[in-house]
Structure 1
């Protein structure tokens, strides 16, 4: 009888502990969903108001070889409502197919947005500026679900380059 009573007590304790774990899991799931919704709202606002920073982690030069990891913190494009700041590495290919590393580094208040497209979790922003007699067109694709962003830089003089990285609100 004593063993039966102890067995029933153990079953009751295990059932109670299991029920508590489910409630804790439900609370964690609710908090995770709340955090994700807040992040999506913050990023949507940043993209709509053109107030964000793209930080590049990888560079893929068109026609110039494989993807290259960028190990420096200063590879970015920052957009504020009043100005654009660009600080990106760039590889140009000369006629003899030699790679010439350069750095595109400028700040301007003269830039234009062509289009802002939002297809649910996919954003596409296209903007342009001209600096030092070179017209730069930027195509930014951002996936809110996984946080990955791709910036394609298309200069009118030079080669196209793609950058992979992340976006954060300013």
Structure 2
């Protein structure tokens, strides 16, 4: 969770990936789920998830705009660095979600978590293709998946808010 908060505030920084890897979140395999749920209230958790995906969507739109820019070929080295920095931040956010949904083992929500886990893995694969091939279609595929996930998390956030009322 702390990594998602950190990444929300992260700018295009060369150290983003290293900082992400070196920081340790409070979600680990040795920490029981109930203890995690007591650490942070559910509304705050979903708010952070939504903000993280919104940040990812924003970065993906930037990447798509850069890749579709007609001047990309002329300034490809400079723009490639910008794309790589953005992809690094997105990759860190997605890795945090994959880690989260691979650790939480709630039997009632197992199918939903498996579904979300697979969607985040799909984004990770498309992101790697975008990084390697630098084509907008892969970023667009990521964007579609992120927009889908954003709808899910906004719904879950609203349900959490309604539950508390």
| Same fold? TM cut 0.5 | no
Q: Normalized per residue, which structure has more helix?
A: 2
- Normalising to structure 1: TM-score of the pair? 0.19
The higher radius of gyration belongs to 1
Q: Normalized per residue, which structure has more strand?
A: 1
- Normalising to structure 2: TM-score of the pair? 0.19
Which structure exhibits the higher relative contact order, with contacts defined as CA atoms closer than 8 Å and separated by 6 or more residues?
Answer: 2
